[in-house]
Amino acid sequence: MRAFDYRRAHSPEDAARLTQAPEAMLIAGGTNLLDLMKLQVETPELLADIGRIGFAEIIDTDDGGLSIGALATNTAVAIHPRVRRDYPVLARAILAGATQQLRNRATTGGNLCQRTRCFYFTDIDQPCNKREPGSGCGAIGGVNKLHAVLGASDHCIATYPGDMAVAMAALDARVIIGAADGQQRSVPVRDFHRLPGDTPWRDNVLDPGEVILAVELPAPLEGMQIYRKVRERSSYAFALVSIAAVIAVENGAITRAELAFGGLAHKPWHDPRISELLVGSAPSAELFDRAADLLLESAEGQGDNDFKIPLARRALHAVLAQVMEQAA
Amino acid sequence: MASELIVNGRPHRLPDDPRVSLLDYLRHDLGLTGTKKGCDHGQCGACTVIVNGLRINSCLSLAVMHDGDQITTIEGLGTPEAPSPLQRAFLAHDGFQCGYCTPGQICSATAMLDEIANGWPSDASASLEGRFEPTGEEIRERMSGNLCRCGAYANIVAAIADVATESDA
Ligand SMILES: Cc1cc2nc3c(=O)[nH]c(=O)nc-3n(C[C@H](O)[C@H](O)[C@H](O)COP(=O)(O)OP(=O)(O)OC[C@H]3O[C@@H](n4cnc5c(N)ncnc54)[C@H](O)[C@@H]3O)c2cc1C
Ligand code: SF4
Ligand code: FES
Ligand code: FES
């Protein structure tokens, strides 16, 4: 690990001020950043530790929703009574990720900002446009089993690896972001992560010196909440494909269908056309096939990851089966 | 800012170099070599210690991030003369072969029993609410962050199940 200065930030503004320079980075739980620093993928000269700035609370909002502080750990969120009762898709997505030891340290902000698991990104001897702009993309034409089938570019085909954000995208949560001058802005989780385009080094819309303060969940939505994660072993592995779904069925017809997909793209994937297609119709295999057609309309395999296209369709059918079972 | 952390009840000065992981600090600076380094990347659980009651991977934490924290390592759980219930059960059930993963397994399981007692769900739980029984399936999922290269899993699960049902009664 390269040498760096370590400072404890005392407030978000303090943290934002400390990290205005590009060589400075925030550290929260450290479970992703320290991993990457050991590999010299990340080489910050200054670490601003936000572990003790507060913002770890989970509180009810005036409109019946829930505000999750950026420093709330994955564990704290997954065991929170309101998350378990009103947002089970979120509790399930978190519990399906990593391990208890990691979730005890991992924070909400850090989880949103976790970096891709692309093997070329994490190996500094390999070309990677995300790590080293202009060096090329080793994964295109290389080993790309984990990579994107939707929204990739000629510059980068990496996926966003996390689970929590996929559930937050289905729930249409918002990320609250603070700056050094105390100004705040808010961005839907659905728009927080970016597609790689020709600037793959930018994972999300955060500017230098911005700090995530909280994630706000809207008032709970009626309906079944499902998180389905397909991975190579039954525990402790990143998603190949995952689906977070909030689906309501009334009198035989779908009245709500908010779906988000993990493992397919550089961001949790949300396509508003799927909801438009599903709402108003009776759930059926034929209908879910049409939803899969829409989802995968522009899907493109890279070789090793071609299997993700039929796998996403099968996972969608498995969600449908769960919906039918629960609706019965 | 406190410049100490408490390990097994004793205060210790934080290292001067912020690069020192909590794992290296425990092993090299304090000589508490019970905590093991397997992968150094959060993947194996050999470095599991209990911080303020929660199990974490000490390899993915900097020692300086833990000023004021209470840390329990395998050395703090019991002694050869007075082993903890889990230490005793691992012996009784042969819950190891080479023993390298064992301190991490035992620290992890110690905290895991509290998590079950506190009603925390896991990915293996059918419902997110209620009481969680320490079934084989629950124990395996909850212990999935602790790998054993010797494959002593069957006996590890048996040892933990023994203590879990004991403390239940
Ligand atoms: C072996 C292993 C398995 C894993 N499996 C899974 C899995 O299956 N599913 C899954 O979803 N995740 C998984 N993870 C990833 C884990 O969830 C992340 O490492 C964790 O969520 C990161 O949170 P942190 O607080 O430790 O972040 P840190 O490591 O502290 O930070 C990560 C990044 O976020 C930035 N950051 C942190 N907080 C803020 C903030 N408030 N505002 C702005 N930027 C911020 C940091 O600057 C850094 O760039 C796994 C990790 C490991 C090591
Ligand atoms: S897919 Fe993206 S992260 Fe992976 S090597 Fe290519 S540019 Fe780098
Ligand atoms: S040494 Fe920490 S998890 Fe392997
Ligand atoms: S006993 Fe050898 S690694 Fe577990």
pLDDT for B73-111, tens place per residue? 999 999 999 999 999 999 999 999 999 999 999 999 999
Residues 113-152 on B with a CB inside 8 Å of A are: 115, 119-123, 125, 128-129, 140-142, 144-145
Q: Which CATH number do you get for residue A30?
A: 3.30.43.10
The pLDDT, as a whole number, for residue B169 is: 45
* Structural domain contains residue A262: yes
Report the nearest atom of ligand 1 relative to the CA of B57: 53
Q: Nearest residue on chain A to B47, judged by CA atoms?
A: A101
The structural domains of chain B, ordered by start, are 4-76 (3.10.20.30), 85-168 (1.10.150.120)
Distance CA A191, CA A173 (A): 10
Q: Which of A49, A65, A85 is where one domain is finished? A: A49
Mean pLDDT of the A31-51 span: 98
- Print the domain residue range for A14: 5-49
Regarding the beta carbon of B40 and ligand 3, being less than 6 Å apart is answered yes
Q: Answer with the residue of higher pLDDT: B166 or A69.
A: A69
Instruction: Say whether pLDDT at A304 is over 50.
Output: yes
Q: Which CATH number do you get for residue A308?
A: 3.30.390.50
Distance CA A215, CA A213 (A): 7
The β-bridge relationship of strands B48-51 and B54-57 is antiparallel
Q: Which of A157-166, A316-325, B23-32 has the lowest mean pLDDT?
A: A316-325
What number of residues does chain A have? 328
* Structural domain contains residue A23: yes
Q: What percent of chain A has pLDDT over 90?
A: 95
With a cut of 0.90, is the ipTM above it?
yes
Mean pLDDT of the B47-56 span: 98
* Structural domain contains residue A106: no
- Rounded to the nearest angstrom, the distance between the alpha carbon of A112 and the centre of ligand 2 is 19
Q: How far does CA A290 lie from the centroid of its chain?
A: 25
With CB atoms and an 8 Å threshold, state whether B1 touches A8.
yes
- Rounded to the nearest angstrom, the distance between the alpha carbon of B43 and the centre of ligand 3 is 6
Regarding the beta carbon of A41 and ligand 2, being less than 6 Å apart is answered no
* Structural domain contains residue A247: yes
Instruction: Say whether pLDDT at B116 is over 50.
Output: yes
Instruction: Say whether pLDDT at A326 is over 90.
Output: no
Amino acid at B56: I
Q: Which of B90, B85, B60, B58 is nearest to B72 (CA)?
A: B58
Q: Cβ contacts of residue A307 below 8 Å, gap of 6+?
A: A240, A301
Which DSSP string corresponds to A211-243?
EEEEEEEPSPPSSEEEEEEE-SSSSS---SEEE
With CB atoms and an 8 Å threshold, state whether B123 touches A95.
yes
Average pLDDT along chain A: 97
| Residue A34 contacts B, CB cutoff 8 Å | yes
Q: Nearest residue on chain A to B21, judged by CA atoms?
A: A34
- Nearest CB among B1, B60, B111 relative to A105 is that of B60
* Structural domain contains residue A126: no
- Rounded to the nearest angstrom, the distance between the alpha carbon of A39 and the centre of ligand 2 is 16
Q: What is the pLDDT of residues A145-165, one digit of tens each?
A: 999 999 999 999 999 999 999
When pLDDT is cut at 50, 70 and 90, the band that residue A324 belongs to is confident
pTM of the model: 0.98
Instruction: Say whether pLDDT at A236 is over 80.
Output: no
Structural domains of chain A, count:
2
* Structural domain contains residue A219: no
* Structural domain contains residue A307: yes
When pLDDT is cut at 50, 70 and 90, the band that residue B167 belongs to is low
Query: Is the C-alpha dihedral spanning A72, A76, A77, A80 positive or negative?
Result: negative
- Helix, strand or coil for residue B119? coil
* Structural domain contains residue A108: no
